[in-house]
């Protein structure tokens, strides 16, 4: 078994045991109480795992196919609102709500993908952005009182089974639901991308004309990647509403969400599953930790040149993102790979960078 796989399994086991670890770690935990299994810390970790899984799905498009979509928030919002509406307004069972959510996400992904993939480059990005913005304004408009508009739509959990109903109230269940979503997503993405389809995706990213010469139809493969990425985003939306317990347009349907997921992918290393997971976890963790720092009473005493930027986590994370793009090519995964080559194989830094870029 490869060392990376062993490390991954051990990390997954450790993550599953976090709710039972009452270790006091001052200074670096984002919760109000500096204890590993506190409600605040596990809530933040649940968000870390949730968005790491969504980032994995986005990387199927961006890292493996070279497609810059700006519409991932559309499918995430579909998962949130279709599931929430089915349970809260429709009073449906869990199975029926999941089925209709999956059906809506699948049909919309096929339709939007069939339209958007007719164009390439920035045109593809703009088409996906236009659809996402349309859905955002539709949600804000609160049609027939279904979405709650800007005030949001709280999840009614009395139609959920006991364990999942507890996910809205008990942080431990929310944590395990989010961790399970990440693990399942990782396995699915790993199996698909390591199959022949995954190899075709990488070839399309590098040179799609070559595949057309070989008789393969790029459109069908790209549509498959688009659908898989969209379904993962929709599943992430379902998990989000189970973890958070409510849906607000600005949080789940805005373009900012898609940009944040893109930053997670680039920060971790596009095309690297482990790197993307690390990027998602680090991004959300830092965002929540910076919010905690900004809320400290002593923070107000800082001079304005420090206090103002430090009070804006998105600003700081954006600055970190720019620095990573410039000075750390390949993100966290690229940096780890270069370090491993240097210490394990004695490869000169100039040689390893050239190899990575090639």
What are the tens digits of pLDDT across the range 112-152?
999 999 998 899 999 999 999 999 999 999 999 999 998 89
Q: What percentage of the chain exceeds 70 in pLDDT?
A: 91
pLDDT for the residue numbered 87: 92
pLDDT for the residue numbered 355: 35
pLDDT for the residue numbered 289: 83
What is the spatial distance between Cα 354 and Cα 345, in angstroms, rounded to a whole number? 15
- Least confident range from 141-150, 179-188, 301-310, 319-328: namely 301-310
- Least confident range from 85-94, 296-305, 326-335: namely 296-305
pLDDT for the residue numbered 36: 87
Instruction: Report, as an integer, the average pLDDT of 228-250.
Output: 94
What is the spatial distance between Cα 288 and Cα 148, in angstroms, rounded to a whole number? 26
| Other residues' Cβ atoms within 10 Å of the Cβ of residue 344 | 8
* DSSP code per residue over 144-175: GGSS-GGG-EE--GGGS-HHHHHHHH-HHHHH
| Other residues' Cβ atoms within 10 Å of the Cβ of residue 91 | 12
Asked if residue 8 belongs to a domain, the reply is yes
Asked if residue 342 belongs to a domain, the reply is no
Instruction: Report, as an integer, the average pLDDT of 241-269.
Output: 92
| Averaged pLDDT of the chain | 86
pLDDT band at residue 318 using 50, 70 and 90 as cut-offs? confident
pLDDT for the residue numbered 308: 72
Q: What percentage of the chain exceeds 90 in pLDDT?
A: 52
pLDDT score of 79 more than 90: yes
Domain that holds residue 11: 3-285
- Least confident range from 74-88, 170-184, 199-213, 289-303: namely 289-303
Of the two residues 157 and 338, the one the predictor is more confident about is 338
pLDDT band at residue 163 using 50, 70 and 90 as cut-offs? low
Asked if residue 325 belongs to a domain, the reply is no
Asked if residue 165 belongs to a domain, the reply is yes
Which tokens in the block code for residue 280?
Answer: 């998602």
pLDDT band at residue 333 using 50, 70 and 90 as cut-offs? confident
pLDDT score of 295 more than 60: yes
Of the two residues 214 and 186, the one the predictor is more confident about is 186
Asked if residue 351 belongs to a domain, the reply is no
What is the spatial distance between Cα 76 and Cα 228, in angstroms, rounded to a whole number? 13
pLDDT for the residue numbered 86: 94
CATH number at residue 203: 1.10.3470
What are the tens digits of pLDDT across the range 7-42?
888 999 999 999 998 888 877 787 677 888 888 888
Asked if residue 280 belongs to a domain, the reply is yes
Asked if residue 169 belongs to a domain, the reply is yes
pLDDT for the residue numbered 78: 96
Question: How many domains would you assign to the chain?
Answer: 1
- Least confident range from 74-88, 161-175, 248-262: namely 161-175
Asked if residue 332 belongs to a domain, the reply is no
pLDDT band at residue 356 using 50, 70 and 90 as cut-offs? very low
What is the spatial distance between Cα 31 and Cα 40, in angstroms, rounded to a whole number? 4
Give the max Cα distance, the chain.
66
Of the two residues 356 and 54, the one the predictor is more confident about is 54
């Amino acid at each position: 078994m490869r060392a990376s796989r062993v490390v991954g399994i051990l990390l997954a086991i450790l993550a599953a045991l976090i709710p039972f670890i009452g270790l006091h770690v001052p200074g670096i935990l984002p919760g109000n109480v500096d204890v590993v299994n506190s409600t605040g810390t596990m809530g933040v970790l649940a968000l870390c795992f949730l968005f790491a899984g969504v980032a994995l799905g986005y990387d199927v498009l961006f890292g493996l196919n070279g497609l810059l979509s700006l519409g991932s928030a559309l499918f995430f919002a579909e998962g949130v609102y279709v599931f929430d509406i089915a349970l809260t307004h429709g009073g449906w069972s869990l199975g029926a709500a999941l089925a209709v959510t999956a059906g809506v996400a699948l049909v919309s992904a096929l339709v939007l993908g069939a339209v958007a993939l007719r164009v390439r480059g920035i045109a593809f990005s703009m088409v996906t952005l236009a659809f996402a913005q349309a859905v955002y304004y539709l949600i804000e408009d609160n049609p027939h009182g279904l979405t709650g508009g800007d005030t949001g739509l709280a999840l009614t959990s009395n139609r959920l089974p006991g364990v999942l109903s507890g996910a809205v109230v008990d942080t431990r269940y929310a944590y395990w639901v989010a961790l399970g979503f990440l693990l399942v997503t990782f396995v699915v993405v790993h199996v698909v991308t390591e199959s022949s389809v995954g190899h075709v995706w990488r070839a399309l990213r590098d040179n799609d004309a070559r595949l057309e010469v070989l008789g393969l139809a790029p459109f069908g493969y790209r549509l498959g990647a688009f659908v898989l990425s969209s379904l993962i985003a929709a599943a992430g939306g379902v998990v989000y509403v189970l973890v958070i317990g409510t849906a607000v347009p600005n949080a789940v349907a805005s373009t900012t969400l898609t940009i944040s997921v893109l930053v997670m992918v680039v920060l971790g290393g596009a095309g690297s599953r482990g790197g993307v997971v690390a990027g998602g976890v680090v991004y959300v963790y830092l965002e929540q930790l910076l919010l905690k720092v900004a809320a400290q009473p002593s923070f107000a005493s800082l001079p304005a040149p420090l206090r103002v930027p430090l009070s804006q986590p998105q600003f700081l994370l954006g600055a970190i993102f720019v620095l990573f793009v410039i000075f750390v090519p390949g993100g966290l995964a690229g940096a780890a790979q270069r370090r491993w080559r240097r210490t394990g194989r004695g490869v000169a830094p100039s040689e390893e960078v050239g190899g990575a870029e090639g």
